Amino acid sequence: MHKQLKADVTLLLVVIIWGSTFVITKDAIQHIQTYNFLTLRFVLAALLLALFSFKKLPGLDRITVKNGVILGLMLFGGYAFQTVGLNYTTASNSAFITGFSAVIVPILSTFMLKKRPQLSAVLGVVLAVAGLGLLTLGDSFMLNIGDVYTLLCTLFYALQIIMLDRYTHMSDPMLLATVEITVVALLSTLFTLVFEQPVIPAAPSVWLAVLITSLLATTFAFIAQNIAQKYTTPTHTALIFLGEPVFAQAFAYVLLDELLTPRQLVGCALILAGMLATELKPALRLKKSGDTASGKKP
């Protein structure tokens, strides 16, 4: 098999895993509180990443720690709001709203860099906002509280993506991710101790969810993504990543019997169109320059 095809298949597998986590997490938090679940997930993920980066740990410097802490704060905010939101909204809504983070990245970047946004980014936002309205607003034009929490998570994810793009070139990616995930694990533990009653779950489905989200969706996904993106194009990567909410909806339909109304399906299509408009042009530009696409959250 050609190296690029192998890379694309690997990235597709990562996206399928990410898509499944919306359903898996929603089921798990029916049996265990939100931060307790996040603690189990990210403590295990941090230990696994530390194990894989063990030989590199002597090279851990102050810049990597500082940048990792900042990224960890952003990533924790994203996962906290997203997982809390899953208690009140559907897995499908959560996935497509989370995809909105890809749309607002270039807009936030232009404000932070004080540059005019590109037309493709503006078009992407318009399409995605229209899609969000169709997906989340009912006849009363009131947002579900779970959708509001998930919208807040997109802001943190977008900031994390922007900062990751800035920091990746300063540090070893493995060490940076290890610090970042460790920060998420520590904050999750702190929030569990302050706001919840720590428990060791008895339900096998919770432990299965912990293993899938920590081992596959975090550790494997990060390592596979970093390797695969060396052998494929940014355009392929951007297009493959568009599949995350689509796979999430497929899992939600099969496993949770979640059905979208025709209006919501149109909304999902508009969000995907917005993501495509936002991500494809920068990816094509990266392809011409020979760079790799910046990674998503671990």
Between these two residues, 82 and 54, which has the higher pLDDT value? Answer: 82
Mean pLDDT score of the chain: 86
DSSP secondary structure letters along the chain: --HHHHHHHHHHHHHHHHHHHHHHHHHHTTTS-HHHHHHHHHHHHHHHHHHHTGGGGGG--HHHHHHHHHHHHHHHHHHHHHHHHHTTS-HHHHHHHHTHHHHHHHHHHHHHHT-PPPHHHHHHHHHHHHHHHHHH--TT----HHHHHHHHHHHHHHHHHHHHHHHGGGS-HHHHHHHHHHHHHHHHHHHHHHHS-------HHHHHHHHIIIIIIIIIHHHHHHHHTTSS-HHHHHHHHTHHHHHHHHHHHHHH-----HHHHHHHHHHHHHHHHHHHHHHHHHHHHTPPPPP---
Q: Give the pLDDT of residue 43.
A: 97
Percent of the chain whose predicted confidence (pLDDT) is above 70:
89
pTM of structure: 0.87
| Confidence bin at 138 (pLDDT 50/70/90) | low
Between these two residues, 86 and 280, which has the higher pLDDT value? Answer: 86
Q: Give the pLDDT of residue 21.
A: 95
| Confidence bin at 113 (pLDDT 50/70/90) | low
Q: What is the pLDDT of residues 156-165, one digit of tens each?
A: 998 988 888 7
Q: What is the pLDDT of residues 249-266, one digit of tens each?
A: 889 988 988 888 888 889
Q: Give the pLDDT of residue 134.
A: 81
| Confidence bin at 292 (pLDDT 50/70/90) | very low
Q: What is the pLDDT of residues 207-223, one digit of tens each?
A: 999 999 999 999 999 88
Between these two residues, 237 and 51, which has the higher pLDDT value? Answer: 51
The yes-or-no verdict on residue 168 having pLDDT over 90 is no
